[in-house]
Amino acid sequence: MSDYEYGNRCIPHPYALVGTQADSASDASYGRVVVPGEVDVTHGAILYLESVTVSFDGFKALNDLNLSVDDGELRCIIGPNGAGKTTMMDVITGKTRPDAGTVYFGQTIDLTRLNEVAIAHAGIGRKFQKPTVFENLSVFENLELALKMDKRAWKSLFAKLNGEQRDRIDEVLATIKLSEAAHGPAGRLSHGQKQWLEIGMLLAQSPRVLLLDEPVAGMTDQETAETAELFLSLKGKHTLIVVEHDMDFINTIAHTVTVLHEGHVLAEGDMATVQNDPKVIEVYLGR
């Protein structure tokens, strides 16, 4: 069985043994069988896109896109309109199938073989720009509905939260700073608070990766600052991929920034490197 190659990384095929006799003394993973469905991040990265191409009526929304994101990383994605940012998220979440290329979640889960529901259950959550919460329900009830639990009608009708589930909701409420609003209707929240609630609904599902599309659009300066604090607090516990146009916000949270242009990576690095890249200045920043 050959290995799947990504750059200089060697990524085992599904069900491969991790480690060899030669490295068994130093590698604790020697002899460990990769469990089907497990997110295997033994090589550090949790998401790999290689040579991904997507065309719509002859237009290449993604053009040989290569991207790797480390487990627990907070990665920022920027680029002009039409750069391929939304299509990239559509491919990762299974909404769009690539014409060519590979997309892996960890080393063994091929996302191109899964549908949207299976990808969400595997541990990838997505937040769209416009918040979609149940405004007539309380904040607590929104989070309750989002919990990973049996959603079949009969089960849902008679389901009662156990102590662990209530603790989980309380933990999420504290994280998104909505504990005091827990029992009020979600419709009374400000725009920024609704954004936080939707992020909380993702967190309630315990995702490994969160895709966040323009999360601070329409927020006040104070809400934007608090969202930056929230994302920084989640870094390491989850992998965050943030698509945003607000450069001040990106500058606050970014460690690594990827710039997309015409469906491929134009530049990548820390904010200072990206901001001073002549290609980025020409096509995006306009300085």
CATH number of the domain at 79, please: 3.40.50.300
C-alpha closest to that of 183 among 131, 143, 144, 141: 141
Integer-rounded Cα radius of gyration of the chain: 20
Q: What is the mean pLDDT of the segment spanning 177-184?
A: 97
The verdict on residue 197 lying in a domain is: yes
Number of domains the chain is built from: 1
- In this predicted structure, the answer to whether residue 230 has a pLDDT above a threshold of 60 is yes
pLDDT tens for each residue of 251-271: 999 999 999 999 999 999 999
- In this predicted structure, the answer to whether residue 19 has a pLDDT above a threshold of 80 is no
Which pLDDT belongs to residue 26? 37
Taking CB atoms within 8 Å and a gap of at least 24, the contacts of 123-126 are 123/39, 123/206, 123/207, 123/208, 123/209, 124/92, 124/93, 124/207, 124/208, 124/209, 124/211, 125/202, 125/205, 125/207, 125/209, 125/210, 125/211, 126/89, 126/93, 126/202, 126/210, 126/211, 126/212, 126/213
- What crossing angle do the helices spanning 221-234 and 163-175 adopt, rounded to 10°? 130
Which pLDDT belongs to residue 287? 55
The verdict on residue 278 lying in a domain is: yes
Tokens 């989070």 identify what position? Answer: 143
46 near 209, Cβ under 8 Å? yes
**CA 258, chain centre distance (Å):** 14
**Distance (Å, rounded) from C-alpha 190 to C-alpha 221?**
13
pLDDT category of residue 35 using cuts at 50, 70 and 90: low
Helix or strand or coil: residue 108? coil
The verdict on residue 149 lying in a domain is: no
- In this predicted structure, the answer to whether residue 28 has a pLDDT above a threshold of 50 is no
**Distance (Å, rounded) from C-alpha 101 to C-alpha 244?**
25
Burial bucket for residue 253 (CB in 10 Å: 0-12, 13-18, 19+): buried
The verdict on residue 151 lying in a domain is: no
- In this predicted structure, the answer to whether residue 143 has a pLDDT above a threshold of 60 is yes
- In this predicted structure, the answer to whether residue 48 has a pLDDT above a threshold of 60 is yes
Q: Where are the alpha helices (DSSP H) in 151-218?
A: 153-158, 163-175, 191-203
The verdict on residue 267 lying in a domain is: yes
pTM: 0.83
Q: What is the mean pLDDT of the segment spanning 51-67?
A: 95
pLDDT tens for each residue of 87-131: 999 999 999 999 999 999 999 999 999 999 999 999 999 998 777
The verdict on residue 216 lying in a domain is: yes
- In this predicted structure, the answer to whether residue 45 has a pLDDT above a threshold of 90 is yes
Rounded to 5 degrees, what are φ and ψ at 76?
-105, 135
Rounded to 5 degrees, what are φ and ψ at 272?
-65, -45
Residue 108 structure tokens: 């063994």
The verdict on residue 113 lying in a domain is: yes
Averaged pLDDT of the chain = 85
Strand partners, 219: none
- In this predicted structure, the answer to whether residue 274 has a pLDDT above a threshold of 60 is yes
The verdict on residue 11 lying in a domain is: no
Q: What is the domain range of residue 197?
A: 72-93+108-133+189-285
- In this predicted structure, the answer to whether residue 34 has a pLDDT above a threshold of 90 is no
For the chain, strand residue ranges (E) read 4-6, 9-11, 17-18, 32-33, 45-56, 59-70, 74-78, 100-105, 109-110, 124-127, 209-213, 239-243, 256-261, 264-269
Which pLDDT belongs to residue 255? 92
What size, in residues, is the chain? Answer: 287
Please state whether 279 falls in left (phi above 0), alpha (psi between -120 and 50) or beta: alpha
